[in-house]
Structure 1
Amino acid sequence: MANWCNARLLVAGPRAEVESFARLVRARPSAVFRGDMLAGEGGDLQADRLTRLDRGLARTGYRFQIRNDDGRAYFTNVSGRFPDLCFVLTFFDANAAPHAGSFFIASGRSRAYLVPDTLVEAVMERHGCAADAGDDEEWRFWEAAWELMDLAEAHWKGVLRGALGAPRGAGAPSTGAAPSHARRRPAAGGRAAAGRRQARRPARRQRGRRR
């Protein structure tokens, strides 16, 4: 049985290079994404609008699913074809540990950040993901999953800014969304109530959904 993980790919660099990358993604067959990434279990690949930044830079992003993999080796290889671009690949796997993490990828090399299990459980508890929750509360699980992906992506903000040569104090390119914990209220019940129940471990979930 195939295991699908949710993924996001942030692409940033010189505007002309980002535009060229986006054209290759749109080509059919795609010169960038594999077939399982173009059409995942929960839907097809989705592309964000290309955003122009200062100093001739730009960014764009993609949301998709990956089958039986976290995508690190594949996109590390892809990055070797685009030496002027930086990539941040973020994943959430509901059925296997580590459940969430991200990779900073550039010029055929990658670095990993895996969200600690303690943080995964804390976020799940904050969103009210009780071990005995039914399907009608599944939205809480995915709200927590999206927050974990936001946190994993934000880990590389300073590294990305430095790699692109941003001046001190400048903001790094991002997907444009504030971290989930900053824009969503915690689930009802509060910290005390969450502490009285066991947090749902993402491995309990067997269905794939994408943001």
Structure 2
Amino acid sequence: MDCADEQSGDTAESHIRAHANAYAAKGLCVPGTPPVVVIGDTMLWMTTAFAQTDTDPCFRSIRSKYLGDLPLFEIAAYMLFRIDLWLFTKYPAHRRYLVNSFFNHIGSAFERALGVDVSLTLKSRIEAYSTMVRRGTDTGEFLHNLGQILLMSREARTPVEYSFGGPIMLSGADEDFWIRSNLAAFEGAIVPTFLNSLEKFIETVLPRTTGTEMQ
């Protein structure tokens, strides 16, 4: 690829990114905000980190396809799956409360951003990833399927139908490399960073949460 031939490309407008950046600008903690909302907004903010560290001008036109709200929805759905799996193994007593809270937070945010109810799609994505876990699927296969969904979503306006393990959608070598590299970076850095933050939240904030709030 000749980088000199790459056009600047417009960054896709993202309501979620604007929301997350405004949240981060306030210091990640607005006084009076319920703690579970704070951790939910933190999750959305870290979701928007997908591909943000990739500043290689050679991939600018490719990157611009994946910075909008629909690709971020798919990244958030995957993040929720990883949170659910982690809670299942480490904090099962808090799993239902936190997963439901994150689910509602993601659903509400992306319904506003995309203008459609995403709850059924979000639920189906989590169920599909979870089915793969029960089959002994490794992380590489999770990311392969997520990459396929991103490819299908790059020009869509609403969440796409996707059959996990179905026919493979092909892309160019450069785009395939970009997707695989950025998903691996997200899985290797952003996911564990957020899980560390969530663990601190569970250990320090949830013990002070009332029984009523935990229902």
Q: Determine if the TM-score, normalized by the shorter chain, exceeds 0.5.
A: no
Smaller-chain TM-score range? Answer: 0.3 to 0.5
More strand by share: 1
Q: TM (normalized to structure 1)?
A: 0.36
Q: TM (normalized to structure 2)?
A: 0.36
More helix by share: 2
